[in-house]
Amino acid sequence: MCQTSSGGKVTGVRVWLPRLTRFEKARIIGARALQLAMGARPLIDIGKLPSRDFIAIAKEELRRGVLPFTIVRRLPNGTRELIPVPKLIEAERTLFGEVEL
Taking the complete model, does pTM exceed 0.85, yes or no?
A: no
Residue 16 has pLDDT above 60, yes or no: yes
Q: What is the pLDDT of residues 41-88, one digit of tens each?
A: 999 999 999 999 999 999 999 999 999 999 998 888 998 989 999 998
Range of the domain at 86: 22-96
Whether residue 70 is contained in a domain is answered as: yes
What is the tally of structural domains in the chain? 1
Q: What is the DSSP string of the chain?
A: -EEE-TTS-EEE---S-SS--HHHHHHHHHHHHHHHHTTPPPSS-GGG-S---HHHHHHHHHHHT----EEEEE-TTS-EEEEEHHHHHHHHHHHHSSPP-
15 assigned to some structural domain: no
What's the CATH code of the domain at 27? 3.90.940.10
pLDDT at 101 over 70: yes
